[in-house]
């Protein structure tokens, strides 16, 4: 019943996380009625994001296109002997907002999930092991989300990292089970970071 361009936009918006059919339709009709510059700004921002961003070649966080390393990896004041392993780039932002952690990061870009067909080869696990193998790493903080998949990923990483003789810690359970780092408040993240414990 809807014109094809509107239907196509609704279908595209539905693919975004957290956007259902009703929200997608509301967004599409908002853009249809909005001044032309709003839709133009959105389209330009999406294109620029895709064209002008890349992944850091060391930690796999987001950085500007054309840069080999992100600002955190290039910062000589950050402690390269401590690596905090997170699931997604949004988790780096959440931890950085706390302003306490001064080490470096490693972004896995997901978690192990046999149900969804995500195995170790689908994540940035091999580059993490290579970083630790090269030496100079004292501690690896496993900051995956406190979910079934996050815990399974942390256990797998612990098994892979144990032969290197580094200290392996996990964020303390100040974070709610089933919650995501990006939604945690700063005090909860601060308690989780400062209360991290060695995995046994």
pLDDT at 191 over 80: no
Domain-embedded: residue 6:
no
What mean pLDDT comes out for the span 153-173? Answer: 93
Domain-embedded: residue 80:
yes
Q: CA angle, corner 199, sides to 178 and 179, nearest 5?
A: 10
How many CB atoms within 10 Å of residue 158? 17
Its domain, for residue 136, covers 75-198
- Whole-Å CA distances, 18 to 13, 67, 145, 160: 10, 31, 18, 33
- Each residue of 108-131: pLDDT tens digit? 999 999 999 999 999 999 999 999
Domain-embedded: residue 28:
no
Domain-embedded: residue 105:
yes
Domain-embedded: residue 128:
yes
The pLDDT of residue 157: 97
- Each residue of 80-104: pLDDT tens digit? 999 999 999 999 999 999 999 999 9
Residue 166: φ, ψ to 5°: -90, 155
The count of domains in the chain is 1
Q: CA angle, corner 115, sides to 183 and 178, nearest 5?
A: 25
pLDDT at 195 over 80: no
Domain-embedded: residue 176:
yes
* Cα–Cα dist 56/98, whole Å: 22
pLDDT at 189 over 90: no
pLDDT at 188 over 90: no
What mean pLDDT comes out for the span 16-26? Answer: 94
Where residue 131 sits, what CATH number does that domain have?
3.40.1360.10
Domain-embedded: residue 14:
no
The answer to pTM > 0.85 is no
């Amino acid at each position: 019943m809807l014109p094809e361009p509107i239907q196509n936009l609704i279908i595209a918006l539905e693919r975004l996380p957290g956007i259902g059919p009703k929200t997608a339709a509301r967004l599409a009709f908002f853009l249809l009625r909005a001044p032309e510059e709003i839709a133009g700004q959105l389209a330009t921002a999406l294109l620029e994001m895709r064209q002008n961003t890349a992944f850091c070649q060391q930690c796999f966080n987001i950085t500007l296109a054309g840069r080999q390393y992100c600002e955190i990896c290039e910062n000589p004041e950050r402690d390269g002997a401590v690596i905090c392993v997170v699931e997604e780039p949004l988790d780096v932002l959440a931890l950085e907002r706390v302003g306490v952690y001064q080490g470096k990061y490693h972004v896995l870009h997901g978690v192990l999930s046999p149900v969804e067909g995500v195995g170790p080869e689908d994540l940035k696990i091999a580059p993490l092991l290579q970083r630790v193998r090269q030496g100079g790493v004292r501690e690896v903080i496993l900051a995956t989300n406190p979910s079934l998949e996050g815990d399974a990923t942390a256990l797998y990483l612990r098994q892979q990292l144990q032969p290197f003789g580094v200290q392996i810690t996990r964020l303390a359970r100040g974070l709610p089970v089933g919650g995501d780092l990006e939604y945690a408040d700063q005090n909860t993240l601060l308690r989780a970071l400062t209360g991290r414990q060695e995995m046994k």
